[in-house]
């Protein structure tokens, strides 16, 4: 992966575990992305409205709801306010049902934790490609 591959891309990362959120923010920043880290769904929704990112990367379980509720809130926004923002779900729950549920809910992709940097970048590329 070459540095700068995500140059010009804004990503909202929603992860309630501080250490993992920090790792994701740093990794994506090193790839050139502008990253907004959020610990809650409500902070993430506010960031989507304020920043209009190209992508949301959201943990399924959050302290103030879940990623499904977050995505529903995002989809209720007008497109010019971020309503069509592509989103990737991630979770350590690991069940195939979670994968199917995430895709059925409108997430572009589902990443089971743990995942590799390569898997993350492939998922991001696919989500961004499907938006264009």
Task: Evaluate whether residue 87 is within a structural domain.
Answer: yes
Is 42 a domain residue? Answer: yes
Of 81, 26, 35, nearest to 56 by C-alpha is 35
CB 108 within 8 A of CB 130: yes
Query: How many domains are there within the chain?
Result: 1
CATH for 104: 3.40.50.2300
Q: What is the pLDDT of residues 76-118, one digit of tens each?
A: 999 999 999 999 999 988 766 678 889 999 999 999 999 999 9
Among 43, 55, 65, 72, which Cα is nearest to 8's? 55
Looking at the domain assignment, is residue 4 inside a domain? no
Would the pLDDT of 1 be above 50?
Answer: no
- Per the domain annotation, does 113 fall within a domain? yes
User: What is the DSSP secondary-structure string of 45-56?
Assistant: HHHHHHH--SEE
Domain assignment of residue 1, yes or no: no
Q: Is residue 122 part of a domain?
A: yes
Is 88 among the domain residues? yes
Which range of residues forms the domain containing residue 81?
A: 10-127
Q: Structure pTM?
A: 0.94
């Amino acid at each position: 992966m070459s540095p700068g591959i995500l140059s010009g891309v804004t990503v909202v990362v929603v992860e309630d575990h501080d250490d993992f959120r920090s790792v994701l923010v740093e990794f994506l920043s090193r790839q050139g992305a502008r990253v907004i880290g959020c610990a809650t769904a409500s902070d993430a929704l506010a960031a989507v409205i304020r920043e209009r990112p190209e992508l949301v990367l959201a943990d399924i379980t959050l302290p103030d709801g879940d990623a499904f509720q977050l995505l529903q809130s995002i989809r209720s926004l007008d497109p010019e306010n971020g309503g069509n923002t592509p989103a990737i779900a991630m979770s350590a729950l690991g069940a195939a049902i979670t994968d199917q549920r995430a895709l059925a809910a409108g997430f572009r992709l589902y990443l089971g934790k743990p995942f590799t940097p390569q898997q993350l970048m492939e998922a991001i590329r696919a989500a961004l490609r499907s938006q264009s």
